[in-house]
Amino acid sequence: MTGWLRADGRKGIRNIVAVAYTVECAHHVAHEIAARFPMQSVHLIGFPGCFPNDYALRMLERLCTHPNVGGALIVSLGCESMEGRALAEAVRSSGRPAEYIGIQDLGGTRKAIEAGVESTAQIWNDIQSAPRAEMCAADLTVGLICGGSDAWSGVTANPAIGRASDRLVAEGGTAIFEESGELIGCEHVLAARAATPDLGRALTAAIEKAARYYAVLGHGSFAPGNAEGGLTTIEEKSLGAYSKSGSAPIAGLLKPGDLPPRSGLYFLDVVPDGAVRFGFPNISDNAEIAELIACGAHLILFSTGRGSVVGSAISPVIKVCSNPETYRRMSEDMDIDAGRILEGRATLEEVGEEIYAAVCAVAGGAVTASERLGHREFILTYKSFRQTARCFGEGGRQRAKRGAGNQEQEIRK
């Protein structure tokens, strides 16, 4: 497979232009700009809030400098707290072309759209000359998530994803799993797989934090569709969610926007630190997907039993369906039929290998079902994370190219 070589040494499997708005008031203008390029890979992302939020700024910086992104247009209203010019400069500093437009400065909606379309066309032309480079599994970072889970998710799709994750890690690649609110009850199992005792304690603390967070909210990560699909408790759902992490040692704990310092399996803590301030930590699966992408995920493995149809901006989403009936009903939205395991038409190992092959094919340019259908969902909300030390296992101090620019301190043994 071949990818696009970026100035920081990372390689992308797509070459897109990100059109990013910095406040909801600029959303319409940014949407109209992106909509003028239906045949090109121009993806819309953005932040709706007007008040300052370090998490949101960090997310947009990571997303606009993601290896799948060749360049970016930043669209601001002009009076919001997020500084769009600084965001554009951060993108330029990464070696990517970037432009900024301010709606107030340009005189309103129509003029801003015209300027934005012109700038986007120029960026698109510029990135067509991005250098290409050979890629292998060791260059890939893959995010692991489940959504619309049913009773079969933990029996077929999730453990099959776990097999694919193990294969990727064994080949020198990187996998990131998350959903701390859906791993309640599994903290001792996670800790036992940690590369160091410090990391084990950090993993336990992350799950305990999630349990406290949801207790305050009075609502856990358990939807009516989960119950209708046969799940009975959050612990049962947690065991299914846990199985997608496979069996490799856990190399470290990340928070949104952290880049893995080396290859291996990582846990992403998505529940905010401190007091409950901004409501539910992830109001939909799309928020978690965005956080995985902000940690460098080239593509996403998404397990579903009930039949989620979402894709994502920036990184392709591979749908792995746990339920054969759902797959037959919604086959146009699915990529892998893991429900064949239930019907004796395939083994867990065979589906795991099929998922791994799909990862390599999509990294090489194959189109996923969600890409074919035009899904580019994106959501970014307020959160808050303390600048605490990150916990990595042995070798974490050896920075790989994919971790260039990380500022996190590490907890040493």
CA angle 150, 206, 407 (to 5 degrees): 120
Contacting residues for 105 by C-beta, under 8 A, at least 6 apart: 78
What CA–CA distance (Å, rounded) separates 231 from 158? 14
Half-sphere exposure of 65 (CA within 13 A, CB side): 27
Determine what percent of the chain is predicted with pLDDT higher than 90: 77
In this predicted model, which residue has the larger pLDDT, 360 or 397? 360
What CA–CA distance (Å, rounded) separates 55 from 150? 32
Stretch 90-111: mean pLDDT: 98
How confident is the model over 179-200, as pLDDT tens digits? 887 888 889 999 999 999 999 9
Phi then psi for residue 156, to 5 deg, are -120, -70
Least confident of 5-14, 132-141, 381-390: 381-390
Domains and CATH numbers, the chain: 2-133 (3.40.50.2300), 137-411 (no CATH)
In this predicted model, which residue has the larger pLDDT, 99 or 390? 99
- The pLDDT, as a whole number, for residue 388 is 60
What CA–CA distance (Å, rounded) separates 72 from 92? 9
pLDDT surpassing 90 at residue 243: no
How confident is the model over 46-86, as pLDDT tens digits? 999 999 999 999 999 999 999 999 999 999 999 999 999 99
What CA–CA distance (Å, rounded) separates 89 from 97? 10
Least confident of 115-129, 134-148, 239-253, 340-354: 239-253
Burial of 205 (0-12, 13-18, 19+ CB in 10 A): middle
- 59 close to 380: Cβ distance less than 8 angstroms: yes
pLDDT band at 232; cut points 50, 70, 90: low
pLDDT surpassing 70 at residue 41: yes
- The pLDDT, as a whole number, for residue 51 is 94
pTM: 0.92
Beta strand 390-392 with 250-254: parallel, antiparallel or unpaired? antiparallel
Paired residues of 385 in beta bridges: none
Stretch 326-338: mean pLDDT: 96
- The pLDDT, as a whole number, for residue 229 is 62
Stretch 328-342: mean pLDDT: 96
How confident is the model over 255-279, as pLDDT tens digits? 999 999 999 999 999 999 999 988 8
